[in-house]
A and B are shown apart, each in its own frame.
Chain A
Amino acid sequence: MKVNRLLKYTAKRIVDLIPTLFLVAVIIFMITRMIPGDPASTMLGPQASVKEINNLREQMGLNEPKLHQFIEYLKDLVHLNVGYSYVYKRPVVDLIMERFPNTIILTLFALVISLVVGVTAGIISAVKKGTWWDYVFTILSLVGVSVPVFWLGIMLVLFFSVELGWFPSTGMGDISLGFSDYFSHLILPGVTLATIPMATFSRITRSSMLEVLEQNYIKTAKAKGLQARWIICKHALKNAMTPILTVLGMQVSSMLGGAVLTETIYSWPGMGRLIVDAINKRDFVVVQGTVLFLALLFVLVNLAIDLLYKVVNPKISLGKVAK
């Protein structure tokens, strides 16, 4: 019965998403076609001749009326075609699909680190409120939310690769060379990307935990004779999860952005790297396609988190009061 209701809710949410996704596509279209500046001449650079530019405009359909362009663009989107790269001479979808798994690996790894470390630090801060532990974690997380990802990445390279030589500074590991090669390549970009969400989770967990620990059901749990550790990990943590989930969506979004910078620093062959390379090669079709894809991904992630929300917190929408 509950599963059924959850499915219904999911379906409703997906339908709700359609206008948003449509507008996302509209925004991308507007950015590329409405804003002053000619994509074709931007792509070809200042040395290009008028003829070359005109040829490309023709190829890209930029000489058609705007409305016609828009309809063509939407048609393409429905067929999952986000454009053709004139630089790579390949459909953008292929390029994205090639890089996408790498970005997911990096982002998921960073997400796991940030959740595990951030939530743990937040719990310790809350439970040991007012002690040195609390102060150290609080200050670290204050600095953590303010640190520029790209600078942190460079500093980690400087310290752990250049000075200590512990981890490689560029590229992605090869799983065929063994797990350690793979993992050692993953660790620096992962930690870099994880820092800001880690600090955010730590702050949220601390404040949320402090509030939960004041609740009556915690007193009940103590009166039951439960161990403090068990009370914190079971009774308090699950209740404290709600605000953590709320910021999770925002964090995943900023991580997808942060991945662009992180991948640039570490030459990680993901979508961020693809975007930056495309920028340098003036291949703006790739930039738009990739950004559109990431925006879609982000919307779906938020939907998933929203559903998770319902599962964690039974009070929301699923239930009848028995009399």
Chain B
Amino acid sequence: MSDDSNLLSVKDLSIDFLQEKTAVRAVDQVSFDVKKGEVLGIVGESGSGKSVTVTSILKLLPENARYTEGSISFKSEELLSMKEKQLRKLRGNEISMIFQDPMTSLNPVFTVENQLVEAIRLHAKLSRKKARQEAIRLLQIVGIQEPEKRIKLYPHEFSGGMRQRVMIAMAISSSPSLLIADEPTTALDVTVQKQIIDLLKELQQKINTSIIFITHDLEVVADLADRLLIMYGGQIVESGPAKTIFANPLHPYTRLLIEAIPHGNKKSGRLPTIEGNVPSLSEIPQDVCRFKERIPWIPDQAHEINPKLREVEPEHFVRCTCYKHFWMKEAHEKK
């Protein structure tokens, strides 16, 4: 699997969260690769394990998380066995991360300058003055007007979209080979969302970084991602080139996600057409198709026991046999 074009290779990764006395599996046997210069979109609702998966790459999970099995290798080096000191050299340097909520991701009591210069000087030996110039340049790149003036402000003096731009400036300050964006647009207005996506696309081409982009909204990654992973209940349910998946979505969950993309200008944050919610991690049945409860109109025998990912066409994988069934609820009701 791991050829040289793979920047990041995650294999059979499983992560448990310890709660009181029980362990709850948040990520179950997840494998994927990220090639150089590629944009990978990971899509799923909250609770699908997508955020845990990417947070685990930098080993930033909370203390009660346990890596139960699998491996994560970055540039052919195993991350899971790395010492904290080596990891720190990767974080913010080779691998950068942008978080969901720009309102709380910047430290409220330090100026933007302080936080940007800190990031720059951490990985490049620059004088304070040089670092400041670099910070201003970065702010310009991410599209902040009058950066010389704005840099002196505190985060709360910025709007949400501008804060996310600052976060991006911070993340690209070291020209990372991999940029992880964890729902970077979810907390933003629709118009701002689009601007941020465009900015990321532009930057991706400019500095040729690989991006892992996480979202619950397929529309957001539609023209950004090269490949897609669809996650549900801690598992990958479908993966493949973005074009293939959009042209030929197979898993019922993927189809519902595509269905949920609003047509026209109306925007809805949640997924309106999917009934029910992601079951809480501890309630998920382990050996059956995890999506079963959300599509009760599909008969039991359409699912398989212990469903596996199957390659149905080149590079296009899908889990469980239920995708073969005619999936629309309305169609069933008409029958």
Contact = CB atoms under 8 A, between A and B. Distances in A.
Interface in A174-220: 215-217, 219-220
A319 B90 contact: no
B177 to A, nearest CB: 14
A224 interface: yes
Interface string B148-161: 00100110111100
Given A235-B107, A238-B109, A223 B159 contact: no
Nearest to A221: B107
Contacts of B58: 222-223
A239 B104 contact: no
A227 interface: yes
A239 B88 contact: no
Interface stretch (B66-74, B118-126, B217-225, B244-252): B118-126
B52 interface: no
Interface residues of A, number: 25
A215 B106 CA distance: 10
Given A224-B92, A224-B119, A238-B110, A219 B105 contact: yes
A310 to B, nearest CB: 12
Contacts of A55: none
A28 B101 CA distance: 54
B157 A224 contact: no
B45 to A, nearest CB: 20
A177 to B, nearest CB: 45
B60 A216 contact: no
Contact of B101 (A216, A223, A225, A235): A216
B285 interface: no
Nearest to B123: A225
Given A216-B101, A312-B109, A322-B159, A222 B89 contact: no
B159 to A, nearest CB: 6
Nearest to A315: B156
B211 interface: no
A320 B152 CA distance: 13
A221 B150 CA distance: 21
A228 B101 CA distance: 22
Most chain A CB atoms below 10 A, which of B96, B106, B109, B157: B109
B167 A319 contact: no
Interface string A96-130: 00000000000000000000000000000000000
Contacts of A222: 58, 60, 91
Nearest to B114: A234
B60 A219 contact: yes
B122 A225 contact: yes
Most chain B CB atoms below 10 A, which of A220, A226, A314: A220
A232 to B, nearest CB: 13
B48 to A, nearest CB: 20
Contacts of A323: 159
B182 to A, nearest CB: 10
Interface in B145-179: 150, 153-154, 156-159, 162, 167, 170
A316 to B, nearest CB: 10
Contacts, number: 86
A106 B60 CA distance: 45
A313 interface: yes
A164 interface: no
A321 interface: yes
A59 B88 CA distance: 77
A217 B156 CA distance: 13
B117 to A, nearest CB: 12
B105 A217 contact: yes
A222 B58 CA distance: 9
A322 B157 contact: yes
A323 B144 CA distance: 11
Contacts of A314: 108-109, 154, 156
Given A238-B110, A239-B107, A239-B109, A223 B92 contact: yes
B99 interface: yes
B318 interface: no
A322 B158 CA distance: 5
Given A224-B91, A312-B109, A219 B118 contact: no
Contacts of B119: 224
Given A220-B99, A315-B156, A227 B88 contact: yes
B93 interface: yes
B97 A217 contact: no
Contact of B91 (A215, A225, A238, A239): A225
A86 B69 CA distance: 85
Contacts of A216: 99, 101, 104-105
Contact of B104 (A217, A225, A313): A217
A187 B90 CA distance: 47
Interface in A273-323: 312-315, 319-323
Contacts of B97: 220, 223
A223 B96 CA distance: 7
B162 A322 contact: yes
Interface string A235-249: 100110000000000
Given A228-B84, A235-B107, A321-B159, 8 more contacts: A217-B104, A217-B106, A221-B107, A225-B93, A239-B107, A315-B156, A320-B157, A322-B159
24 contacts: A216-B101, A219-B60, A220-B106, A220-B167, A222-B58, A223-B60, A223-B97, A224-B92, A225-B89, A225-B123, A226-B88, A226-B122, A235-B107, A238-B107, A239-B108, A312-B109, A314-B109, A314-B154, A314-B156, A315-B109, A319-B154, A320-B157, A321-B156, A322-B159
